[in-house]
Structure 1
Amino acid sequence: MNLNECLISKDKNLLQIDRICELLKMTYWASKRDKETILKSMENSVCYGAYYDDVQVGFARVITDYATNFYICDVIIDEKFQRKGVGKKLIKEICDDNSSKSLLGLLITEDAHKLYEKFGFEKDSTSFMCKKRSE
């Protein structure tokens, strides 16, 4: 795979909704989300897609106030494209975006820590709190 042929874009018109739902169903964190919830989350986020041969092979959402913080979530790369630089290219695009460059970046993940560390993310368990969803 030639990484130069992989397009990263935040143009919502390019997003392939069914493909995003398919990719998210394969994750440990979003496997039970229905399409309606996924669409609602996308409406209120900056969405990035990774495309190869006009097929969406990756996705990420960013939630931000454009002043102080941005939160990266729902980062998923198709298994066939993992470990080929697509995730790195996607996260680089997000972190290099002028709207998030000078902001505090946050994310919650159980994996790919080495990838995020390349972009300045550090583990910080001393100041993080979480309110779980109510049933």
Structure 2
Amino acid sequence: MEITWNQFVISDDKGRLDVDTIKVFLSRSYWANKRPEERTLRSIENSICYGVYEGSKQVGYARIITDHATMYYLCDVFIDEDYRGMGIGKKLMESLTTSDELKDLMGLLGTKDAHELYKQYDFEPDAERFMRRVPDYIRKAEHQ
């Protein structure tokens, strides 16, 4: 998939990803700042990844984990701080949720601060039904 919007391109071509940019952003995020680099690299290899580009510069990212039949999990979404407020995140979400690959699948995600963005794309809170298990390396890091 490749979509051109204004001066930006949204693409699922992993060959275009700037892995260093992704690693730096995730290392500063609240959800992945304890994730070892090798796990980030493996997550990219085993997921559908969407990059947002202005020319050759990567300014956004989203990662999808899916079985391609019933559901997907959206994660590691970011827009570069210098590009926020320009509608890029909205266009990225629109592109993902309406793609042939995902439009007929159940979508899940976790967020601490972007509920209003995701509600615009029909995501709904459902705290009563879902549980999570935190891996040992995160639990140990939180207690240091």
| TM-score grouping bracket, smaller chain normalisation | over 0.9
Q: Tell me the equivalent position of 1:46.
A: 48
What is the RMSD of the two structures over their aligned residues, measured on CA atoms?
A: 1.1
Over the matched positions of the two proteins, sequence identity in percent amounts to 47
Q: Tell me the equivalent position of 1:64.
A: 66
Instruction: Find 1:97's aligned residue among 83, 96, 99.
Output: 99
User: Which residues in structure 2 correspond to 1:1-135 (within 5 Å)?
Assistant: 4-135=6-137
Extract unaligned runs of 5+ from structure 2.
138-144
More divergent stretch after superposition (29-38 vs 114-123): 29-38
Instruction: Name the SS for the 1:125 alignment partner.
Output: coil
How far apart are residue 83 of structure 1 and its match? 1.5
How far apart are residue 131 of structure 1 and its match? 1.3
How far apart are residue 96 of structure 1 and its match? 1.1
TM-score (norm 2): 0.88
Name the structure, 1 or 2, with higher relative contact order (CA <8 Å, separation 6+): 1
- Aligned equivalents of 1:97 and 1:39: distance in 2? 25
On the 8 A contact 1:24/1:74 being kept in 2, the answer is yes
- Aligned equivalents of 2:13 and 2:55: distance in 1? 16
State the aligned residue count. Answer: 133
